[in-house]
Amino acid sequence: MKIYLIKTPELQPESMKDVHELLAGHAGPAVFLSDDYAFDPNQFPFLNKYWPEYRFQHTMEDKKKVFDKDRSVPLSWQELFLLCDHFRKEKNIPDGDFVVLLTMRKNALNWFSHCSRRNIFVHAGDWHHFTSADPRYPIAYQVTENIVQALMCIDNISIPNEFVHEVPKGCINDLCMDKHQVMLKLRTADICESCHKKIQQEGIDGKFVKQAFDIFEHVRKGILGRVTAKQPADPCTLVVEKGPRFLLPDMGIEIRLYPLFSALYLLLLKYTEGIRVKDLSNYREELAAIYHTICQTDNQEKVEANISSLVDPLSGHFSQKKSKINKTILSTMGPELAPHYQIQGIRGGEFRINLPRELLDLRVRY
């Protein structure tokens, strides 16, 4: 199986060379080749203009942006795949081989990448918004991820779908509608159990799977090398935004919690001295009010039932929720930093979050 890397004119040849070197450095049945094929701008007039400063208004982009003729942005998926097909035809590329277009051009849905049959495009720009690591790492990941997905026969347009994870879990098939979520899968270099089964069901060559995971591991190390070097030994500011969203802008990460977990976490952020489980019922009304604001549901019964069991010291629900919150925090930021943000305490005593409150930037009231 051959994988041809090609590019649109605005992408520097060195950038494609860097990505190619990384991919080709891992032996296996997939042979990576790069081709400096120059598209004729008369034949493809949409390649004539390039607006590096064009910005989508939302990071979570699910509405198609209409092509602006004067600025020639953004390109539709059809235009991007048209270039792949043109190259395929010019060079007589067999159907079983992949053609991967690397481009700095924005695409109409603002996706990182996409695959149609065995044509793939990967957006090679803007990675500095998500990581300080060299962009060759996330780009190489995107190339490999799309090949695996194509071989897995995943339809990532029709969601919900068992193999497209809208809630990220550190699997190559995390959807990442919020683009910042992409760093999780790049850092884990992993694949979840159900996707692993699907790989086996589809009979994908084990040697290729190994090659792909060698690449993912290389990417993970490349990215973590930078992250580790940058990581402060001390905790950094936790920003709470509407939602609520728990963000660590200095680290470029987000702690993602379900509403009931968020409500509990917000309550414990508020009471610096901590709360004993047997005293939780004293905070019942406050917890219910926070949870209600987050859920925005009219189902009062459900809110009451969830809160009642959470504050009941005999239910064990506080302990379960605490463990899950702490696990999420650990997997998000690693063992060095997690203790600053986790819920600490021992049975019978106060449970608290030890983060110095001058590092808490609460931008919304709950």
Cβ at position 131, least distance to Zn ion in Å: 22
Residue 246 CA to residue 230 CA, distance in Å, equals 20
| 8 A C-beta contact, residue 6 and residue 84 | yes
CA angle at 224 for the pair 35 and 16, rounded to the nearest 5°: 10
Contacting range for Zn ion; rule: CB under 5 A; set: 8-16, 153-161, 163-171, 338-346? 163-171
The pair of three-digit structure tokens given for residue 85, joined into one six-digit string: 């097909």
CB 187, min distance to Zn ion, A: 15
Q: Which residues contact 316 (CB under 8 A, 6 or more apart)?
A: none
Residues facing residue 100 across a β-bridge: 5, 120
Specify the stretch interacting with Zn ion by CB under 5 A; choose among 12-20, 192-200, 210-218, 347-355: 192-200
Q: Which is nearer to Zn ion, 192 or 224 (CB)?
A: 192
Rule CB under 5 A: say whether 152 interacts with Zn ion.
no
Rank residues 173 and 342 by Cβ distance to Zn ion and give the closer one: 173
> What backbone torsions phi and psi does residue 6 show, to the nearest 5 degrees?
-130, 175
Q: What's the CA gap between 294 and 240, in Å, rounded?
A: 13
- The enclosing H or E element of 241 equals strand 238-241
Q: Which stretch binds Zn ion (CB under 5 A): 111-119, 139-147, 173-181, 308-316?
A: 173-181
Distance CA 245, CA 82 (A): 39
Shortest distance, CB of residue 173 to Zn ion, whole angstroms?
A: 4
Cα(319)–Cα(45) distance, integer angstroms: 61
Shortest CB 164 distance to Zn ion, Å: 8
Six-digit token pair at 312? 């009941």
By CB under 5 A, is residue 6 in contact with Zn ion?
Answer: no
Minimum separation from the CB atom of position 114 to Zn ion (A): 18
Contacts of residue 62, defined as CB under 8 A and 6 or more positions apart, other chains included, come to 109, 177
Q: List the one residue from 1, 175, 192, 362 that touches Zn ion (CB under 5 A).
A: 192
Stretch that binds Zn ion, among 123-131, 190-198, 237-245, 298-306 (CB under 5 A): 190-198
Q: Which stretch binds Zn ion (CB under 5 A): 2-10, 104-112, 165-173, 231-239?
A: 165-173
Write the CA distances from 323 to 53, 267, 278, 317, 318, integer angstroms.
44, 16, 17, 10, 9
Among 120, 151, 164, 171, binds Zn ion (CB under 5 A): 171
Site for Zn ion in 125-144 (CB under 5 A): none
Contact with Zn ion (CB under 5 A) among 73, 99, 147, 195: 195
| Nearest to Zn ion of 16, 154 (CB atom) | 154
- Sequence-distant (6+) residues with CB within 8 A of 110 are 56, 61, 65, 74, 179
Nearer to Zn ion, 163 or 341 (CB): 163
Q: At closest approach, how far in Å is the CB of 142 from Zn ion?
A: 16
Q: Whose Cβ is closer to Zn ion: residue 171's or residue 343's?
A: 171
Give the shortest CB-201-to-Zn ion separation in angstroms: 13
CB of 185 to Zn ion, least distance (A): 9
Instruction: Name the residue nearer to Zn ion (CB basis): 175 or 239.
Output: 175
- Nearest approach in angstroms of CB 276 to Zn ion is 39
Terminal alpha carbon distance of the chain: 55
> Which one of 15, 113, 119, 173 is in contact with Zn ion (CB under 5 A)?
173
Which residue lies nearer to Zn ion by CB, 136 or 198?
198
> In this complex, which beta carbon is closest to Zn ion, that of residue 82 or of residue 192?
192
| One-character DSSP codes across 61-124 | --SPPPPBTTTTBSBPHHHHHHHHHHHHHHTT--TTSEEEEEESS-BTT--SEEEETTEEEEE-
Per CB under 5 A, residues contacting Zn ion are 171, 173, 192, 195
